[in-house]
Amino acid sequence: MAVPRSQSARFIASIVATNIMLFSLPSQAQQERGEALFLANCAECHQSNGRGIANVYPALDGSEVVRGSGADVAFVLIIGRGEMPSFKGALDETEMAALINYVRNAWSNSGEPISASEVAALLEP
C-alpha cells in the first residue's frame, strides 16, 4: 500500500519532535539517580527538601545559582565553595550530571539539563 507522501512526512516529523522532547528533559531514571546521589552527598547540609538551614547552608530550592545554568552548578561541585567541599574525584561526570539535573529540576526549580560530556569538559584541568 502506498502511503501518501505528505502523510509519511508528517509521521517522520512527529517522531523527530518526540525525540527532541525526550532528549531535552532529564529521564525519569536519571532524576531518580540524581535524587539518590543528592540524598547521599548533599542533603546532610542542604536538606532533602532543598531548603538548607538558615544562615548556615543555603537553600538550593529557588537558588539563583542552581536555576542559572548547569555549568555554574558544575563549577560549585568541582571547585567547592566556602565550607562546601569539592566533589571532584568523589563523583564522576555521569554522577555530577545526574545530580545537577536533579537539583535544577527538583522542588520549585526548572532548568535545561547538562550532559555528562559537558561536565567532563569542565572537569578537565
Candidate list 34, 50, 70, 87; residue touching ligand HEC; CB under 6 A: 87
Is residue 57 at the binding interface for ligand HEC, with CB under 6 A as the rule? yes
CA dist., res. 71 & res. 56, Å (int): 24
CA dist., res. 28 & res. 5, Å (int): 35
Q: Which stretch binds ligand HEC (CB under 6 A): 8-16, 26-34, 56-64, 117-125?
A: 56-64
Is residue 89 at the binding interface for ligand HEC, with CB under 6 A as the rule? no
Is residue 97 at the binding interface for ligand HEC, with CB under 6 A as the rule? no
How many beta carbons lie within 10 A of that of residue 124, not counting itself? 5
Q: Which CB atom, from 60 or from 119, has the smaller least distance to ligand HEC? A: 60
